[in-house]
Amino acid sequence: MESKPRVLIFANGTKDGGGSGFEALVFSQRKGLLKADIVGVVSLHVHGGVKRIADLYGVPFIHFPGNWDKDKYQKVIEGNGFPWVALSGWMKIIEGHDPRKAFNIHPARLSFGGVGLYGIRVHRAVIEAYKNGQIKDTAITMHFATEEPDKGPVIFEYPLPLYPSDTPEILQERVKSYEHLWQPVITNLVVNGKISWDGRNPKSLIVPKGYRYLPKK
């Protein structure tokens, strides 16, 4: 029997909850949509939401506290057999990994990315730009993860409308629902070789037709 690709998920969560993106990936894997073996999940919080979800589904849990340096990342990745690395709500810079095998989901276009722009902060910046007339919509984005935050080549972008009644909190929940829908689909394409790049040149990116930039709704 052919072995499935191995995936290690990095998911921040919080000390009280979070981890819904991680749960969506596990649920999709159990339903056969994500054709991969999830070898573990990494979180900052030893007893947080990610840990509770990991225990619920029987996924090995790895507590990864402060001092997130290159050596520690390499130790975690190597210790799990050099799997694919899926960043799902991981809010720290990742180093020491193979950029061909690591990818991230971002809750906006990458123009609203970089150091300090994560979580609700992203949605605050998006709402401010919308109210200033600078943008008309937002998106969920998936991209390969390099050591420079949110600079890897985009592999998927799904546009979402913005409304005058939106607040950062309302937008965050709407975006999250679409992340949970699309992240397992794109993750499956990446780990099974349908989406790839050479880790250096963005022009080497290969994405199936119709996936990289979906049209506006």
109/76 same-domain check: no
Q: Left, alpha or beta for 13 (phi > 0: left; psi -120 to 50: alpha)?
A: left
Query: What secondary structure does DSSP assign to 192-213, as a single string?
Result: TTSSB--SS-GGG-B--TTTSB
Q: What is the pLDDT of residues 42-73, one digit of tens each?
A: 999 999 999 999 999 999 999 998 777 899 99
Domain residues for 202? 105-217
pLDDT of residue 66: 74
Phi and psi at residue 171, in whole multiples of 5°?
-65, -40
213/174 same-domain check: yes
* Residue 215 confidence (pLDDT) above 80: no
23/123 same-domain check: no
pLDDT of residue 2: 63
* Residue 214 confidence (pLDDT) above 90: no
Asked which of 61, 80, 97 is the last residue of a domain, the reply is 97
Asked which of 65, 97, 129 is the last residue of a domain, the reply is 97
109/215 same-domain check: yes
73/149 same-domain check: no
> Do 10 and 50 meet the contact criterion of CB atoms below 8 Å apart?
no
Which SS3 state, helix, strand or coil, does residue 167 take?
coil
Angle between helices 120-131 and 168-191 (to 10 degrees): 120
> Do 154 and 139 meet the contact criterion of CB atoms below 8 Å apart?
no
25/47 same-domain check: yes
68/118 same-domain check: no
How large is the average pLDDT for residues 19-25?
96
Q: What is the pLDDT of residues 140-172, one digit of tens each?
A: 999 999 988 889 999 999 999 999 999 999 999
> Do 7 and 191 meet the contact criterion of CB atoms below 8 Å apart?
yes
Q: What is the pLDDT of residues 124-147, one digit of tens each?
A: 999 999 999 999 999 999 999 998
- Torsion angle defined by CA atoms of residues 23, 138, 202 and 35, in that order, rounded to the nearest 10 degrees: 20
Asked which of 97, 114, 130 is the last residue of a domain, the reply is 97
* Residue 112 confidence (pLDDT) above 80: yes
116/25 same-domain check: no
Give whole-number Cα distances, 55 to 10, 61, 103, 166, in Å.
Answer: 15, 8, 24, 35
Angle between helices 168-191 and 20-31 (to 10 degrees): 40
pLDDT of residue 212: 87
150/52 same-domain check: no
169/199 same-domain check: yes
- Into how many domains does the chain fold? 2
58/141 same-domain check: no
Per DSSP, helices labelled H in 39-198 are 49-57, 70-79, 120-131, 168-191
Task: Give CA–CA dist 190/206, Å, rounded.
Answer: 10
Neighbouring CB atoms inside 10 A of 2's CB total 3
pLDDT band at residue 104, thresholds of 50, 70 and 90?
very high
pLDDT of residue 102: 97
**In CATH, what number is assigned to the domain containing residue 33?**
3.40.50.170
Q: Please give the model's pTM, rounded to 2 decimal places.
A: 0.94
pLDDT band at residue 16, thresholds of 50, 70 and 90?
confident
122/216 same-domain check: yes
